[in-house]
């Protein structure tokens, strides 16, 4: 797409991600039509101006915390403060907290712009 800015599309989607919900890098990739790989999604998140997106709500496949090496415990702490629960193996409980959003479909429907008058008929006439 000409003028397409996939990083900005990622940021816009993340801006709609509610507290207490998480998404994965792969899901974000799908939501922008595969314009970035899941690794590219990570780069988009890193490139966002600080404090503008809820980066902590993006986890690896199956709910794995992805930022543990850089910021040990921070992502989990932030998610827990939003009520996100974790399984015994330290992954986000995706059955409870996965954000379900499908890629936007672009279907155009034709509408009839003609107005029709409805004739009222009284009973018995």
What CA–CA distance (Å, rounded) separates 113 from 66?
51
Structural domain boundaries of the chain?
6-97
Contact in structure between 45 and 53 (CB atoms under 8 Å): yes
pTM: 0.76
pLDDT in tens, 56-102: 999 999 999 988 788 889 999 999 999 999 999 999 999 999 998 75
Task: Give the right CATH number for 6-97 from 1.10.540.10, 1.20.1050.140, 2.40.50.70, 1.10.10.10.
Answer: 1.10.10.10
Both tokens of residue 33?
Answer: 């039509």
Running DSSP on this structure, what letter comes out for residue 50? T
DSSP code of 47?
Answer: H
- pLDDT tens digits, 17-63: 999 999 999 999 999 999 999 999 999 999 999 999 999 999 999 99
């Amino acid at each position: 797409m000409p003028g397409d800015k996939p990083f900005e599309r990622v940021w816009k989607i993340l801006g709609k991600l509610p507290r207490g919900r998480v998404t994965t890098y792969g899901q974000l990739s799908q939501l922008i039509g595969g314009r970035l790989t899941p690794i590219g999604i990570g780069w988009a998140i890193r490139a966002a101006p600080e404090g503008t997106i809820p980066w902590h709500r993006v986890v690896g496949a199956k709910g794995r915390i992805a930022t543990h090496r850089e910021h040990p415990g921070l992502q989990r702490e932030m998610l827990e403060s939003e009520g996100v629960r974790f399984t015994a193996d330290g992954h986000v409980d995706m059955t409870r907290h996965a954000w379900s959003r499908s890629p936007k479909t672009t279907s155009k429907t034709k509408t009839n712009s003609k107005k029709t008058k409805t004739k009222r008929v009284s009973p018995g006439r």
